Amino acid sequence: MNYLDIHPEVAASLAANQPVVALESTIISHGMPYPQNVETALKVEQEVRANGAIPATIAIIKGRLKAGLNKDEIEQLGQGGQSITKVSRRDLPLIVAQGKTGATTVASTMIIAAMAGIRVFATGGIGGVHRGAETSFDVSADLQELAQTPVAVVCAGAKSILDLGLTLEYLETHGVPVIGYQTEQLPAFFTRGSQFKVDYRLDDAASIAQVMSAKWVMALKGGMVIANPIPEQYALPSSAIDSAIEQALAEAVAQKIGGKQATPFLLARVCELTGGDSLASNIQLVLNNARLASAIAKAYCELVR
């Protein structure tokens, strides 16, 4: 049985080798409060269109894998908020079999995008190795998905609540290239840089598309990370973010919050501690990633004609 529904506009674009950019839905249900989550999701779709590509927001609606949502479906995910199941790879078969609705993480968005034939995906930040993972073994499924699913993920680096060094080590071990767009440092989500370096720096979308093509023509499995720093005017001071993260992490430990609840809790708490500044920055970095992803998708389509 085929559980996948591709939105007609997305299907037509893919059939004509026109650029399509996948977008995730966890950011709608679990990343921001309503109604900002819906407003942001629609703005990101508009940004993709304004930059010459077709958006395909991905989710699971009543047991159907959706590559491309309509406005009513986005509204449903936004209003549902935390009550909508957060779905990663392990959750997909249960949510589908039970006919439920779910918001897709980076990992499950990559899976559905690949099923549909979409090669480029824009998100906020990828998951990674959590701080303290040497004892908790808390490693995001996003990293393993990047190792096996052929989708290029445009992000503002890894979320700064994570252990960035161990995240890079994990990606390197599994053969996932981390490419910095016009930067040699790994962006840390709310800040433009970190103490860690990316594997390679590339300065234009065409060069990134060439790497994507070379990887997949050689039948090398997996995707790649395109690390795109947050625009300078929206970046937050690292000292303020580091302080908020440390406090949020301490509170998560005290309240025994872990697993899939950890990231939404930490991001929400950091938002509170920064007086809402981090939410405004989060929105801007997603829009920035949508712009770059659209340019990469266009360049990739030119290469594979």
pLDDT in tens, 106-148: 999 999 999 999 999 999 999 988 777 777 788 889 999 999 9
pLDDT in tens, 167-208: 999 999 999 999 999 999 999 988 999 999 999 999 999 999
pLDDT the model gives residue 183: 98
Beta carbons of 277 and 166 less than 8 angstroms apart: no
Q: Of all residues in the chain, what percent carry a pLDDT higher than 70?
A: 99
SS3 142: helix
Domain count within the chain: 1
* C-alpha–C-alpha distance, residues 140 and 156, integer Å: 16
Instruction: Report the amino acid identity of residue 177.
Output: P
Active-site hit among 24, 45, 73, 75: 24
Mean residue pLDDT across the chain: 93
Beta carbons of 297 and 14 less than 8 angstroms apart: no
Q: 134 an active-site residue?
A: no
Average pLDDT over every residue of 92-100: 98
* C-alpha–C-alpha distance, residues 44 and 291, integer Å: 9
Task: List Cβ neighbours of 1 (8 Å cut-off, separation of 6 or more).
Answer: none
CA distances from 296 to 14, 120, 151, 293 (A): 15, 8, 12, 5
Model pTM score: 0.93
pLDDT the model gives residue 258: 75
95 pLDDT above the threshold of 60: yes
Question: Which structural domain range is residue 166 located in?
Answer: 4-303
* C-alpha–C-alpha distance, residues 58 and 69, integer Å: 7
Q: 66 an active-site residue?
A: no
Active-site hit among 45, 75, 86, 159: 159
Average pLDDT over every residue of 46-73: 98
Q: Give the CATH number of the domain where residue 236 resides.
A: 3.40.1790.10
* C-alpha–C-alpha distance, residues 288 and 296, integer Å: 13
Average pLDDT over every residue of 224-228: 98
Residue 1 pLDDT class (50, 70, 90 cuts): low
pLDDT the model gives residue 156: 96
Closest by CA position to 166, among listed 147, 191, 138, 201? 138
- Give alpha helix (H) positions in the chain: 8-15, 26-29, 36-50, 71-80, 92-97, 106-116, 133-136, 141-148, 164-173, 205-217, 238-254, 262-273, 277-303
